[in-house]
Amino acid sequence: MFEFRFPDIGEGIAEGEILRWLVEVGQRVEEHQILVEIETDKAMVELPSPVAGVIRECQGTPGEMIPVGSVLARIEEAAAAGSPEPKKPFAVGVVGELEEAQEPELRVEKSEESTLLPRDRKLARELAVDLKQLRGSGPQGRITERDIRAAAQQAVEGQPEKVAERIPLRGIRRSMARAMVASVSAAAQVTTMDTADGQALQKLRMREQAVAKERGVSLSWLPFIVKALTLVLEQFPLLNSSLDQEKGEILLHPQIHIGFAVDTPEGLLVPVVRDARKLSILELAAALQGLAQRARDRKITPAELKGGTFTVTNYGALGGLWGTPIINPPEAAILGVGRIEDVPVVRDGQVVVRPSIPLSLTFDHRIIDGATAQRFLNALIEHIEDPDLMLLES
């Protein structure tokens, strides 16, 4: 009997959650046939059978967490799979074999208190009180109206609150919940907010739309903001760092890997654009678009979800204006981008309409002080408002 165990798929993954079995006990499977889908804290993986044969046992049910190395299934290999299935127990009689019957259950009925008044019986029915479960407080133990009403009230008070539906916290949502709790528990998180005038960036974006369309790329605001981020992170390395608490050291990362939040039906995923500093705006747009689509299609790989040094979340795409985003551990900061819309502003003493870009920077105050965070945000705004700086520094 071949024991198929949950393999070590790398990326530091120690456990996974069973999403669903694609086979059942007694089914014949071929080598490389997918047996089960497993959700890790990185991505969903499909595990194929290393042998051909018959499934004799499946260990674990959907929603169950299993550690790497544990037995998932037992497979009778093809060479030995011709043995007959075990028969159910049978009884032998003069007219042949009969499948054994189950023992019938005995039911014992309890009688009501014979001296109960008819009106009290009616009240008990109306209040759904089981008279068999009551002990009366009246003479000779008679059940009274007070006993019935007290039992009904006790049942209401002890009844759990009704809910429309119970949804198990599993998969990506469970991983996200753990990460967010760990983040707010470990880091001293502070959020500072400001706005950028997007007029010049809007003109650049419109000018590049034709080229982007020729390359099959959707050119949103995000690639420009990510490009500006990579340039400013070079000037403020503490924002591109993480804290090693055990050693008491701040780790400055030599590369800039930008994670970005993607909303999927199963929960939030954060793909990572690696070496984002080396990419042009159009290359960033293509990378962001491709990673986001793979995340939504659940075709993203674990490697594409790890190694970020700074994260950006564009909740403005869904209509949000301001937020206090939570840092993606072990990073030092995260940028939230709100809804970009035309607003009246004063320029040179005149009220004019400009596209406003709301920015919310959450940073770890153990690593970054408020002055550094604001200088970083000021520099980011400067690059957004003067896109020529992006072209000059690229």
State how far the alpha carbon of 328 is from the alpha carbons of 98, 117, 189, 262, 288, in Å.
64, 68, 11, 13, 18
* Co-location of 279 and 389 in the same domain: yes
Classify residue 182: in a domain, yes or no.
Answer: no
Of 32, 253, 257, 365, the active-site residue reads 365
How crowded is residue 246: how many other Cβ atoms within 10 Å of its Cβ?
Answer: 6
Residue 126 has φ and ψ, to the nearest 5°, of: -65, -35
Give alpha helix (H) positions in the chain: 118-126, 145-158, 171-186, 199-214, 222-235, 281-296, 370-385, 388-393
- 310-338 pLDDT per residue, tens: 999 999 999 989 999 999 999 999 999 99
257 a catalytic residue: no
Q: Identify the band that residue 82 occupies on the pLDDT scale cut at 50, 70 and 90.
A: low
**DSSP characters for 137-202?**
-SGGG---HHHHHHHHHHHHHHSPPP-S------HHHHHHHHHHHHHHHHS-EEEEEEEEE-HHHH
Domain match, 256 and 152 both:
no
- Shared domain check, 268 and 131: no
Residues 271 and 138 in one domain: no
CATH number of the domain that 339 lies in? Answer: 3.30.559.10
Range of weakest confidence among 50-64, 132-146, 317-331:
132-146
Per-residue pLDDT, 109: 40
Rounded to whole angstroms, the Cα distance separating 99 from 88 reads 7
Do 291 and 383 fall within a single domain? yes
| In-domain check, residue 154 | yes
- Measure the CA–CA gap between 152 and 127, rounded to whole angstroms: 6
pLDDT digits (tens, 9 = 90+) for 220-234: 999 999 999 999 999
Residues 76 and 137 in one domain: no
Q: Is residue 87 part of a domain?
A: no
Amino acid at 189: Q
Q: Which domain holds residue 154?
A: 125-158
Indicate the residue among 22, 46, 80 that finishes a domain: 80
Token match 């009240």: residue? 123
One domain, residues 15 and 56: yes
Number of domains in the chain: 3
* Look-up of token digits 């753990």: 178
Lowest-pLDDT range of 56-60, 163-167, 362-366: 163-167
